[in-house]
Structure 1
Amino acid sequence: MPNNRLTRLFQEKSGNLLNVYFTAGYPKLEDTTTILEELEAAGADLVEIGMPFSDPLADGPTIQASNMVALENGMSLKVLFQQLENVREKVTLPIILMGYLNPVMQYGFERFCAEAARVGVDGLILPDLPFAEYEEEYKPILEKHGLSLIFLITPQTSDARIRQIDALTNSFIYMVSSASTTGSQVQSTEAQRAYFSRVKALGLKNPLLIGFGISDKPSFEMACQSGHGAIIGSAFIKALQQPAEVRENVRAFLKQIR
């Protein structure tokens, strides 16, 4: 089992965890490390860095648009790894890379994992990596490089599959709040409450971080009542679009949440 910053975070802190997503190379190509440093200074607990891709299926319009801008800025996996080269000299919080399988496979799966580990990445989220293939083929590679793989569950995920995911997980489970794309507003509906209760009743060993539709202090606090913390993405990307300097935008946004 990996003993990385991610697994240690969950041993040390059990609730109200704030995970912030942003797209690498957005708004400007060189903003990646600046945003990381500011997120740590402003009190984020962990960070997801989106690896831009031309067809991000699960993402809503805000994150899709940031992917396009980042790609136009010249962002690629090679550039991202160059940017993260010395990031651990300044940033201690856990870093997760989130993205789609296609660019990772083109880069070479093992080469990608080796590079990610070398620059100080702790975990990966690859929503389109098939569960069976992970178990058979990719799990040993991730373990070899000390990386955690984070799986998503949705209201449609069966109890049996959730238990399978829990058994194979060693950091946290990404609990998608509703059957929609990122950026849609989270609402405490009867169906959602039933979903949260159903998952809670399974007594999972891994913490749950709730994502999709968390955008402000009330929705963050609501999510923290049902999980161990929450993931904010689209609302943070929108905050980065404000006219102020990028460091200021990061600080101002996190101040509203915490």
Structure 2
Amino acid sequence: MTHSTSPSRAAVVTGASGGIGRAVAERLAADGMAVAAHYSGNAAKADEAVAAITANGGQAIAVGGDIADETAMAALFDATTERFGGVDVVVNTAGIMPLAPIAETDLETFDRIQRVNVRGTFVVNQLAARQVRSGGAIINFSTSITRLQNPTYGAYAASKGAVEAMTLILARELRGRDITVNTVAPGPTATPLFFEGKSQQAIDHIASLNPMERLGTPADVAEVAAFLAGPARWVNGQVIYVNGGAA
């Protein structure tokens, strides 16, 4: 039994300083969850997310840390439990996406992508598997690129293929715990990370590739995360593509 001043449910959202992460944090808060908004380098953006949540009457804290560092992530979970009484939902949106053809990818860059996207997800999932309460949800993030197979995404897609495999296995390892484990795989989404280095022509072309003929929004993606975090108790061990029908 949590303390009477604690909210009924609490969520950890990694990468909450980014476009999708922040939208997820705000959406879960709108559903009445207290949120620990994690950031890696951008404390100001995480603070903005917390301010937006509290301005709307929600509860949130910002906690920094290297996603792939088990000590920093343990501190994130501890801070959440200390403040809100426990952890019910974990949404792991943190990730990086340097692009280059496989033949030209610097191996140091490859290692960095795997460290953040694969090890980072593993560290967070390990803590989540140990601490998330019954009735909870663990939500990882992949990408529709695993289906679309676009050139230059080799190292990134490899990391997300690993995330998908990890998710499906963890869902089965948590048998009997009443905890769902799923992956959300967005298509092109209108975030600063997406727009970086792209011409308007390229953006328009990418937006035209799905039958809805637009880019996804962070809110579109957050809606699916909220579904998995809340009412979707019979969706488990799945990869859900959120891309307007691109593939």
Query: TM-score under structure 1 normalisation?
Result: 0.37
Q: Looking at both structures, which has the greater relative contact order when contacts are Cα pairs under 8 Å and sequence separation is at least 6?
A: 1
